[in-house]
Amino acid sequence: MLLDPDVENDVAYELCQLVGRAILPYRRAGGTDPDGAGTAFFFQDSGGEYLLTADGVAGAAGDLGLRASVTEPVGPAPEVLPVTGWIRRPEVGVAVLPTTGLHAVAAAGGWAWRTQPVVDVVAADAAVIARIGAAPGSAFVLAHGLSAEGDRPLEVAIERVAGVGDEVRIGAGLPAGYVGAPVFGVEAAADGGTALHCLGLVLPGAESHPVATFDRIRAMLPAGGAA
């Protein structure tokens, strides 16, 4: 579904309010700019809570950037948190980390996570993915880009998404730091409005990017991800 530009801007703003604190900058250990920089995000379903990113950026370990808004109280949390233990699924292009350990580290340090996970009801199922056709539709990518100065601001890219063969693809190249970020799309709802879905996450690409879709991501999530 292709939205009017003014409506796209409204959707982008609302997404930042709803899930902005789910999204964090990540840097693969030993990665060089810009290939080592990506985005990770929290996802929660009935089985637990997980940190997700692209396998191509996860590596064996890396550093997760912590904005002040995603932890509480102010002060105790570090600016950068080392992350290890990714469950890597290169056949899907995704890396998963159950968040039990992340919450344990926070508790030991005297702080807690204050996040807004992408929840299962928003994540696209196989039927939603199957309805993505060749006609480009509005897509929204929430990511921590990588500026020339090395800063990692939270950004929203308004793009186009379409079905290409058996893939879902974003039809343009994305800036450094966007690999691993969640991709949101819209479709017409039964009540005449629009339904918002998290389609999946950005995989590496050049002039366009494949999306690891949530129907495939769900199938490889481990049980017991909750803290």
The pTM of the full predicted model, rounded to 2 decimals, is 0.95
Section 83-95 average pLDDT: 97
Tell which CATH classification among 3.40.50.920, 2.90.10.10, 3.10.180.10, 2.40.10.10 matches the domain 20-118: 2.40.10.10
CB burial class (10 A; 0-12, 13-18, 19+) of residue 144?
buried
Using CA atoms, how far apart are residues 148 and 195, in angstroms rounded to an integer? 36
Class of the 5-16+119-216 domain?
Answer: mainly beta
Residue ranges, comma separated, of all CATH 2.40.10.10 domains in the chain are: 20-118
Residue 224: its pLDDT value, please? 52
Using CA atoms, how far apart are residues 214 and 217, in angstroms rounded to an integer? 5
3-state DSSP assignment of residue 195: strand
For residue range 12-47, list pLDDT tens digits in order.
Answer: 999 999 999 999 999 999 887 788 999 999 999 999
